[in-house]
């Protein structure tokens, strides 16, 4: 494959889930790459692209940009869990880390375009934003990403910038799906709560990577200063769960009354407070039983239809799960204050 000699791509958080897939994609294109992350890559083949760096270390971030001279930046580094319920400062690496990165970009004349990652959680389920700056976050993680968007808008960047809001992303290199849903499903312990139609906005990671690449390659005026949800068209969650179950176990999903799952979720909350793993919590229960539809029309109108079908994504994800996922260890570097692993 012919190398892309024009782009020099810097990825923050390239050792995380989406970042690993993004680095793999651009490595395959021959693009000159640098991954800034405080954890080593999950994929050992990406070691040569990695430089250890804390996004909160302004000096190291500025030095890395000055030395590498990127033309494009994709900012994925973040704390992405929703465990903290009160203190938005526990997610300071999201908004403050973004501010530090953007200050370094302002001093880097080589950069022509930066993509900054937000989240669909800047608006709660059921709330359809009326415009790009209409927010209704329902978690402090979502609030930290609202602040991230505000930091980006007010940064005074000379280069083009684009904000992306990932939906619920799944695919190869997702340790959350490996360690929770897939493991439970293969052991025969997965039960879906009821048969009610629940429409969710999910996204296969291969399509998200394709959408990011499109944003970096279409005329910049089409995406500059705009917000795009990234992922797939919303679908009935049961259809996806059934397809995953058949691919993973050869058997259809088993269903259980929602009141039983709700009771198990309460138990899961108690065990979680005691740091005892359990496959279902109240948050997971709400995710499986509540519609969450994000507006994908602008994304599709500007970028086109993403290339991978649900069947394609499931096939690649299960192949990764069976072939190489078992040996992968989550990044060990944790936030000193929150004891939570950051990553994209």
What's the predicted TM-score (pTM) here?
0.90
* Look-up of token digits 């970009």: 105
Paired tokens of 248: 């993973």
> What's the mean pLDDT in 6-20?
97
Q: Which uninterrupted H or E stretch holds 265?
A: helix 258-273
Q: Is the pLDDT of residue 338 over 70?
A: no
- For residue 105, give the nearest of 80, 75, 132 by alpha carbon: 75
**How crowded is residue 158: how many other Cβ atoms within 10 Å of its Cβ?**
12
Burial of 193 (0-12, 13-18, 19+ CB in 10 A): buried
Q: Collapse the DSSP code of 31 into the 3-class scheme (helix H, G, I; strand E, B; otherwise coil) and give the result.
A: coil
Half-sphere exposure of 73 (CA within 13 A, CB side): 32
List the chain domain ranges. Answer: 8-174+201-232+294-308
Please give the pLDDT value at position 3.
44
DSSP 64-95: HHHHH--SEEEE---------SS-GGGGHHHH
Please give the pLDDT value at position 280.
79
CB-CB contact of 202 with 314 (8 Å): no
Model pLDDT for residues 21-50, shown as the tens digit of each residue: 999 999 999 999 999 999 999 999 999 999
Strands 168-170 and 160-166: unpaired
Tell me which CATH homologous superfamily contains domain 8-174+201-232+294-308.
NAD(P)-binding Rossmann-like Domain (3.40.50.720)
Residues 6+ apart with CB under 8 A from 219: none
- Euclidean distance between CA atoms 4 and 57, whole angstroms: 30
What secondary structure letter does DSSP report for 325?
S
Model pLDDT for residues 180-236, shown as the tens digit of each residue: 899 999 999 888 888 889 999 999 999 999 999 999 999 999 999 999 999 999 999
- Write the CA distances from 310 to 119, 173, 296, 316, 317, integer angstroms: 22, 17, 16, 10, 10
| Burial call 169-187: b when 16+ CB within 10 Å, e when fewer | bbbbbbbebbebbbbebee
**How crowded is residue 67: how many other Cβ atoms within 10 Å of its Cβ?**
9
- Write the CA distances from 319 to 110, 238, 308, integer angstroms: 39, 21, 15
- For residue 157, give the nearest of 191, 116, 127, 192 by alpha carbon: 116
Paired tokens of 171: 């695919």
Model pLDDT for residues 225-240, shown as the tens digit of each residue: 999 999 999 999 999 9
- For residue 255, give the nearest of 267, 238, 232, 273 by alpha carbon: 238
> What's the mean pLDDT in 298-311?
97
| Burial call 77-96: b when 16+ CB within 10 Å, e when fewer | bbbbbeebeeebebbbbbbb
Please give the pLDDT value at position 331.
67
Strands 191-193 and 235-236: unpaired
* Confidence class for position 265, pLDDT limits 50, 70, 90: confident
- Euclidean distance between CA atoms 298 and 300, whole angstroms: 6
- For residue 342, give the nearest of 125, 36, 135 by alpha carbon: 36
Please give the pLDDT value at position 118.
98
């Amino acid at each position: 494959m012919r190398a892309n000699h024009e782009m020099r791509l810097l990825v923050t958080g390239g050792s995380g889930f989406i970042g690993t897939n993004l680095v793999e994609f651009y490595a395959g294109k021959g693009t000159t790459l640098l991954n800034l992350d405080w954890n080593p890559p999950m994929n050992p083949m990406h070691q040569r692209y990695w430089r250890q760096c804390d996004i909160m270390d302004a000096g190291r971030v500025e030095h890395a940009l000055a030395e590498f001279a990127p033309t494009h930046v994709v900012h994925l580094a973040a704390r992405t869990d929703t465990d903290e319920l009160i203190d938005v400062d526990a997610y300071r690496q999201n908004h403050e880390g973004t501010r530090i990165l953007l200050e370094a970009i302002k001093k880097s004349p080589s950069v022509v375009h930066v993509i900054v990652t937000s989240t669909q959680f800047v608006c709660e389920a059921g709330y359809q934003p009326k415009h790009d700056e209409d927010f209704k976050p329902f978690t402090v993680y979502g609030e930290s990403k609202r602040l991230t968007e505000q930091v980006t808008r007010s940064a005074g960047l000379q280069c083009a910038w684009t904000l992306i809001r990932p939906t619920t992303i799944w695919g190869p290199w997702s340790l959350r799906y490996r360690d929770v849903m897939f493991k439970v499903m293969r052991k025969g312990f997965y039960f879906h709560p009821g048969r009610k139609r629940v429409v969710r906005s999910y996204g296969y990671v291969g399509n998200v990577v394709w959408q990011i690449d499109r944003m970096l390659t279409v005329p910049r005026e089409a995406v500059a200063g705009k917000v795009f949800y990234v992922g797939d068209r919303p679908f009935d969650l049961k259809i996806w769960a059934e397809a995953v179950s058949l691919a993973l176990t050869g058997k259809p999903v088993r269903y259980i009354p929602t009141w039983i799952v709700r009771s198990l979720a309460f138990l899961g909350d108690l065990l979680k407070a005691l740091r005892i793993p359990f496959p279902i919590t109240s948050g997971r229960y709400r995710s499986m039983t509540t519609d969450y539809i994000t507006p994908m029309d602008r994304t599709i109108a500007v970028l086109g239809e993403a290339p991978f079908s649900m069947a394609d994504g499931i096939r690649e994800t299960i192949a990764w799960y069976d072939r190489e996922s078992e040996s992968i260890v989550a990044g060990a570097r944790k936030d000193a204050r929150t004891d939570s692993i950051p990553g994209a």
